[in-house]
Structure 1
Amino acid sequence: MLINSDRPQTTIWWLRKKPSVGADPLGQMARGEVAISHDTFRTLPQDRARGYLRSLLAAAGVLQPFDPYVEGMDAWLEEFLGEVPQHHRELLRRYDRWRVLRDMRRAASEGA
């Protein structure tokens, strides 16, 4: 896939970009140390290099397609809720799952 892409140097750059965090999970997956799955990526720190690798694997058909905005919503919400009084957090979590994430998933599936 790298050789046949329009710009293979872009992928190589992302994998080698300091601190080279993108190459580590790819190597672990290649050696069978971790599963090649979205769940594996959910356990990793969220940064651009790992996000690029995940998107690359999805584009290659190795992983199922996903929407990075939907995937990032839970992490964003937890960060946001850190500033919210405790008695409001559960209500906001429910609203997020019931309304916000549902709408985001619908929009992603419709290509909006």
Structure 2
Amino acid sequence: MPDGSQYRFDQAGDIKLELNAEYRANLYRFLNVAVFADAGNVWLINEDSSRPGAKFSKDWLSEIAVGAGLGLRLDFNILLFRLDVAMPIRVPYYEKDNRWMFNKLISETALGVGII
């Protein structure tokens, strides 16, 4: 795919690995607090010149991304509102010596909002 192209890949990859864990504690009636962690990555089965490094290899374990965060949950039984603050803990596409993000947690923080 040429640089600057308006086309997008219809699929991120062929092999997907995802692990999620979340602990919720009730603060008041419908208000909960959550602590969560996520890990995983997406790979291709075959080599693709437009996505170098995306092919699944024997080094797959070193390519796992990890993130964690805190959130508020407004749980109304039929509807759940989420407000999360998440930080990358390990970024596999950075240089090997810079993959762990403990010294950059604040600068890389992201805010997420969701309705379930």
Please, what TM-score do these two structures have when normalized by structure 2?
Answer: 0.23
Greater share of strand: 2
Greater share of helix: 1
Please, what TM-score do these two structures have when normalized by structure 1?
Answer: 0.24
- Structure number with greater CO (CA < 8 Å, separation at least 6) is 2
Larger Rg: 2
